[in-house]
Structure 1
Amino acid sequence: MPASFAASKSNTSKGTRSQVIVAGAAAGLVSRFCIAPLDVLKIRLQLQYHSLSDPLSSPTPARRPLGVVQVARDILQHEGITGFWKGNVPAEGLYLSYGAVQFWAYRTTTQGLNTLSNALKRDYGRAIPGTAMSFIAGAAAGTAATTATYPLDLLRTRFAAQGPERVYPSLLSSLRSITQLEGPSGFFRGLGAGIGQIVPYMGLFFSLYEALKPVLADTSLPFGSGDAVAGVTASVLAKSAVFPLDTVRKRLQVQGPTRTKYVGGQRMPVYERGVIKTLGMIVKHEGARGLYRGLSVSLVKAAPASAVTMWTYERALGFLQSYDLLEK
């Protein structure tokens, strides 16, 4: 899923719904463009298949999984510098809509939970803990945004997985091809893994972010970057915990009639759509290490992505509030 989008309680409660949506969308756009090359590298690494029991793969260096530098060099040599931005059009649409839906859902859920908490405190003398509200709101926001934007996520993955030989000549042709060959359900391959990943991830992220932000706000960090540091720390911890499900999602997204046409797809096995079965197949044939290919790039990506996202969101929302824009 896109880089983590967290929203501070102070700003989400003061900003109007329109301000939150616009600020979230702006944060998504800026963040996506900055981290696109790292995203392509991560996807290519996750889609490398390396069977531990295949006698053709283990002894042959040419068949072993490539490292980050090798993958980057291969993209540059065979696809040019623009290869690092493959899938950027659907990805920008993904980040734009994902950020807007998530910030809106987080704000709406938080307001509803605050109302419920106040009612519980009034009637029973006990309110909902702040950490619990952050977890619930984050999970709900992540689920809503993941489901609403999943077709764009799938297209982003498929375009990023294309090598020098294109599978889809254009975005329009990909929509037409998937609809004709796979049907509407083809746009939602791996959705179960996406939701299974995003619920604990966003719950953990928002809980950690809300806990860290007040602490870092009092520290002497340059350019008011406490928000960015809180976002980076929360994202790294949460992402590491759920990364295997991200790998499963990527493997499932490139299944279907075009499976063998992607980079490394000639050796990619056919996976069952079930998340648990796919996890089991990867561990059985590639070992637990197969679930974590691309984690290092993902963590490196998390830092600038979360920092840029949170910094942009806070400033964009502050700008809109300062000039009383989108007050209704």
Structure 2
Amino acid sequence: MSGEVTQLKHEGSQLQVVAAGAIAGLVSRFVIAPLDVIKIRLQLQVHSLSDPLSTRGINGPTYKGTFGTLKYILREEGITGLWKGNIPAEAMYLCYGSVQFSAYKYISNVLESMPQPYALHGSAVSFISGAAAGACATTATYPLDLLRTRFAAQGTDRVYTSIVASLRHIAEHEGPTGFFRGLGAGVSQIVPYMGLFFSSYETLKPVMANSPVPLPFGSSDAAAGVIASVLSKTAVYPLDTTRKRLQVQGPMRSRYVHRNIPMYTGVIGTLATIAKNEGTRGLYRGLTVSLLKAAPASAVTVWTYERAMAAMLVLEERMAVE
């Protein structure tokens, strides 16, 4: 683990960590919002394009790849269709980034300050801290994630007229647990994802910093973030698809843009049903756009976080001198 990352992780007050995480989350979300909508639409498409018979009798759209989905949404819903669900998503990213980085810093400090022989160092700290921070952030922001998915799944037929209306309808017809549909898949996905991401990122960063060739994305921080994100996202992607399918369960299931979303029960049951009816390919629908989304999202998040933190530390130092 590089000294630069170790130093940064312990710099700044808790408030500065929260602020830098929030800024990173907001900027990242704005950049990747259209790709997120495309990914969700592809993940909710249950029929196979390789089997023409499976597309008969489907009232919803038939999306063909990332660019085909983009063109369809632009043609049928206009450019605003690419930002459906953006308000709850911005709120989610704002809170998620703050909780994630704050929890990561706190848990890392606790693990490294434990007495011998229990103290942990290096990749073990990165993995455990990243996984625990991801679980905390996912649980805390899950209702916003569910709203993001449901709004992004709306076509020209508006299922919910507003965020307030969606909150009222879910609470009335699905109860408090309705806001947490698919949470098991979310936590099951984020624990290995964040653990792998942080450990890979902090392992790759010194390698990228000493690279003899020019790096894309502007810096070793961003390049390391991109590679770590791609590796981690691919490993856990079937759970992400499962989470999306579970999030649109409920009384409004048949009104989303894909009218034929099956009824699923539980994480294991959903994985098994998708694998049986749609094959392995069904578990990885939208992976291409997800990787396209994950790369800039993680790069922008990490890059913005570190620059925001550095700027706040410089500002704090100047104010102390004055």
TM-score with structure 1 setting the length: 0.90
The equivalent of 2:74 in structure 1 is: 76
- Secondary structure at 1:8 match in 2: helix
Inter-partner Cα distance in structure 1 for 2:217 and 2:285: 35
Question: CA 1:59–1:179 in 2, change beyond 3 Å: closer, same or farther?
Answer: closer
Per-residue CA shift, 1:110-129, capped at 9, x if unaligned? 0000101xx11xxx4x8524
Question: Which amino acid counterpart does residue 261 of structure 2 have in structure 1?
Answer: M
CA contact (8 A) 2:100 2:137 kept: yes
Inter-partner Cα distance in structure 1 for 2:292 and 2:174: 34
Per-residue CA shift, 1:132-179, capped at 9, x if unaligned? 111000000000000000000000000000001110111111111100
CA contact (8 A) 2:85 2:150 kept: yes
Matched, 1:44 2:37: no
The equivalences for 1:15-164 within 5 A come to 15-50=12-47, 56-57=53-54, 66-116=64-114, 119-120=115-116, 124=117, 127-164=119-156
The equivalent of 2:179 in structure 1 is: 187
Matched, 1:212 2:210: no
Inter-partner Cα distance in structure 2 for 1:199 and 1:230: 20
CA contact (8 A) 1:37 1:84 kept: yes
Question: Which amino acid counterpart does residue 145 of structure 1 have in structure 2?
Answer: A
Per-residue CA shift, 1:76-119, capped at 9, x if unaligned? 11110011000000000000000000000000000000101xx1
- Secondary structure at 1:324 match in 2: helix
The equivalent of 1:245 in structure 2 is: 239
Inter-partner Cα distance in structure 1 for 2:217 and 2:289: 26
CA contact (8 A) 1:228 1:311 kept: yes
Q: How many residues align?
A: 312
C-alpha displacement at 1:32, in angstroms? Answer: 0.2
The equivalent of 2:260 in structure 1 is: 267
C-alpha displacement at 1:8, in angstroms? Answer: 3.4
Question: Which amino acid counterpart does residue 42 of structure 2 have in structure 1?
Answer: L
211-220 vs 78-87, which moves further: 211-220
The equivalent of 1:9 in structure 2 is: 6
The equivalent of 2:164 in structure 1 is: 172
Matched, 1:297 2:294: no
Question: Which amino acid counterpart does residue 104 of structure 1 have in structure 2?
Answer: S
CA contact (8 A) 1:52 1:285 kept: no
In the alignment, structure 1 segments of 5+ residues that lack a partner are 1-6
199-208 vs 126-135, which moves further: 126-135
Quote the sequence identity (%): 63
- Secondary structure at 1:323 match in 2: helix
The equivalent of 2:229 in structure 1 is: 235
C-alpha displacement at 1:200, in angstroms? Answer: 0.5
CA contact (8 A) 1:12 1:20 kept: no
Question: Which amino acid counterpart does residue 257 of structure 1 have in structure 2?
Answer: P
Question: Which amino acid counterpart does residue 140 of structure 1 have in structure 2?
Answer: A
Inter-partner Cα distance in structure 1 for 2:15 and 2:89: 22
TM-score with structure 2 setting the length: 0.91
Inter-partner Cα distance in structure 2 for 1:186 and 1:21: 29
C-alpha displacement at 1:56, in angstroms? Answer: 4.0
CA RMSD, 1 decimal: 2.3
In the alignment, structure 2 segments of 5+ residues that lack a partner are none
Inter-partner Cα distance in structure 2 for 1:188 and 1:179: 11
Question: Which amino acid counterpart does residue 178 of structure 2 have in structure 1?
Answer: G
CA contact (8 A) 1:209 1:231 kept: yes
Question: Which amino acid counterpart does residue 107 of structure 1 have in structure 2?
Answer: K
CA contact (8 A) 1:49 1:65 kept: no
C-alpha displacement at 1:223, in angstroms? Answer: 8.5
The equivalent of 1:318 in structure 2 is: 310
Inter-partner Cα distance in structure 2 for 1:314 and 1:39: 24
C-alpha displacement at 1:54, in angstroms? Answer: 8.7
- Secondary structure at 1:73 match in 2: helix
